[in-house]
Amino acid sequence: MLKRLMETRKAVVGVIGGGYVGLPLARTAANAGFRVLVFDIDREKVELLRHGKSYIVSVTSEEIAGLMRQKLFGATSDFDVLREVDVILICVPTPLGLHREPDLSAVRSTANEIAQRLRKGHLVVLESTTYPGTTEELLLPILEESGLKCGRDFFLAYSPEREDPGNRVYSTRSIPKVVSGIDEKSARLAQLFYSRIVKKVVPASSARLAEAVKITENVYRAVNIALVNELKMLFAKMGIDIWEVIEIAKTKPFGFQAFYPGPGLGGHCIPIDPFYLSWKAKEVGQPTKFVELAGEINTAMPDYVVNQLVRALNERGKPPKGAKILILGVAYKRDVDDVRESPALPIITLLNERGAKVSYHDPHIKEFPALRHYPGLKMKSVKVTRKLLASQDAVLIVTDHSCVDYGFVVQYARLVVDTRNATRTVKKGREKIVKA
């Protein structure tokens, strides 16, 4: 029956977690003709969605309102409604704890909510990024506490999200979808569902392997970014511009892929996943020295940036204490409205500790949301004007949003510290620019 419902697009889809992964996924399923319900414990988000309003850049309010008019989209905080859906997609956060250990509390609590309402015929899919073994070792036992048996009464799969916020080329629908199952039936049903909403499904032989695929993708990026960050620090001491090195190196048509340095890693995956893998590796007694070293290098980059800024200030006779510093861009990457794990957060904290007077401008982040690890950071974006730029002792470019006029910034600022090579095309005033 579940197979027929999915083939005819009459299956009702429940997406648990209406964030940067869940909401684009919900939109994609609804656009494919499925009726979708978004479940979220944040009642403010639910109310916005019910009124046809979006709260993330990658999904527009017009899209949400249009799907609601077609009766293909809804939102609720009532988990009892899970009994009415056929496919349950789990898109909840998997952050790190205080000691960089995996925090799967959201996955665990979601599993408990589902188990209380689990019925025969349900397909449950975990999309959250995690270490290999989570679906089988954590999710499966909790769901089977309901008395139902996986592969017979309900079905369980893992399909890792591959969202790239701000990417104008690839979307949820066009990114190939890795799909696995706890058993053969679960895998076939999950593949059938995703084949109805995305262009390409890539089967994985097991949930554990699919979890490893996702974490490998992100560890690969983290390690290569750590490498260019280390080279940046080395080449800076040699008087060599890492950005020019990379631009020329990438002209080689084979054997080199360009990765770029920055002020640190941000977002929900790349800064976190290496530590998930390292934690799991300890369980099997296998050290991950290379992965852990990359994590240490990337984590140290905010300190490096602040030290470079302080050095530039000192060279101009200005101590950091009392210095006015304008941060340009606090989102974790260009042209997105997400501050999760953004390097701007530790950078601002470090500058505050040194007594600097910090403000920020970000066209996508009007004010800081509630931040789990930075509860004291409550700031609002300021408008960039000639007067403001001239009044600052330094402007620090942390995120290179494309809508910012960097020529204007350099023209009126006293000092510009650029961590993203955002000022590469600026001709006048280059003596004011310091790369960090």
Give the catalytic positions in this structure. Answer: 269
* Bridge partners, residue 359, by sequence: 326
Name beta bridge partners: 178: 202
Rounded CA gap, 71 and 64, in Å? Answer: 11
- CA distances 336 to 53, 225, 365, Å, are 18, 20, 9
Cα–Cα dist 144/250, whole Å? 51
Rounded distance, CA 1 to CA 11, Å?
10
Residue 121 near residue 107 (C-beta atoms within 8 A): no
Annotate 233-255 with DSSP letters as a single string.
Answer: HHHHHTT--HHHHHHHHTTSSSS
Edge-to-edge strand order for the sheet containing 394-397? 357-361, 324-328, 394-397, 416-418, 433-435
The beta strand positions in 83-232, using DSSP E, are 87-90, 123-126, 155-158, 177-181, 201-203
Order the strands of the 177-181 sheet from edge to edge. 73-76, 35-39, 12-16, 87-90, 123-126, 155-158, 177-181, 201-203
Question: In sequence order, which residues have a C-beta less than 8 Å from that of residue 293 and are 6 or more positions away?
Answer: 226
Q: How far is CA 131 from the centre of its chain?
A: 16
Which pair of structure tokens corresponds to residue 243? 């950005």
**How many CB atoms lie under 10 A from the CB of residue 307?**
12
